[in-house]
Amino acid sequence: MRIIAGRFKRRTLASPSGDAIRPTTDRTRESMFNVIGARLDLEGAVVADLFCGSGSLGLEAFSRGASRVEFVDRETTSLALARKNAFSLDEHAPCRFIRSDAKAWARQQTPEAYDLILADPPYHADGIETLIDVILPLLRNGGLFLLEHDRSLKLPKHGALEAIRTYGKTAVAIYHKTFSDVDA
């Protein structure tokens, strides 16, 4: 597993042992960041990596210019791995590691505080589709929420859903928060 682009391009990240953590593949991560790059300038962005596992999604955003990344996971082993990977880059100051359930974390956040929120929950987790309404209020205008999930999961229709891209057994739902239809 490696960082694909940005100032830490080609840096190797520690991979999890066993199958408790399922990291996003390099191919899927590259595709996700192509989508992000076409819609959002990551320079100075505030990012959250939910169900962070190894931290590869958040660290990819950091490598591409994010000013701050919050890594959230309820598993201490995941947070330890994400922290190890962040510290391996020698620039971990703007990273925070938070042990919490994603929904509980979201309920404690300030609305419109994030530019990008990435979520890669376990595919077998219950209530994945309920994350959408909890996460979207946290995004600034123009912000993105990318939800990685098993392609067999049917997500509810939502006005902010821009697209669902599939990569093998994986799908990524892309939610784009805009206020363009609100009168000023």
Calculate the alpha carbon distances from 22 to 25, 32, 149, 159 in Å. Answer: 9, 16, 11, 29
pLDDT given for residue 16 in this prediction: 72
Model confidence, pTM: 0.91
Cα atoms found within 13 Å of the Cα of residue 139, Cβ hemisphere only? 23
Q: Nearest 5 degrees, angle CA 39-CA 162-CA 55? A: 60
98 - beta bridge partners? Answer: 72
Answer for the pair 116, 144: CB distance below 8 angstroms, yes or no. yes
Instruction: Give the pLDDT of residue 17.
Output: 72
Length of the chain: 184
Domains of the chain, with CATH numbers? 33-176 (3.40.50.150)
pLDDT of residue 91: 65
Which amino acid type is present at position 159? G
pLDDT for 182 equals 40
16 exposure class (CB count in 10 Å sphere: 0-12, 13-18, 19+): middle
CB 149 within 8 A of CB 169: no
| Per-residue tens of pLDDT for the chain, all 184 residues | 889 999 999 998 888 776 656 667 778 889 999 999 999 999 999 999 999 999 999 999 999 999 999 999 999 999 999 999 999 987 666 899 999 999 999 999 999 999 999 999 988 778 888 899 999 999 999 999 999 998 998 888 898 999 999 998 899 999 999 875 343 3
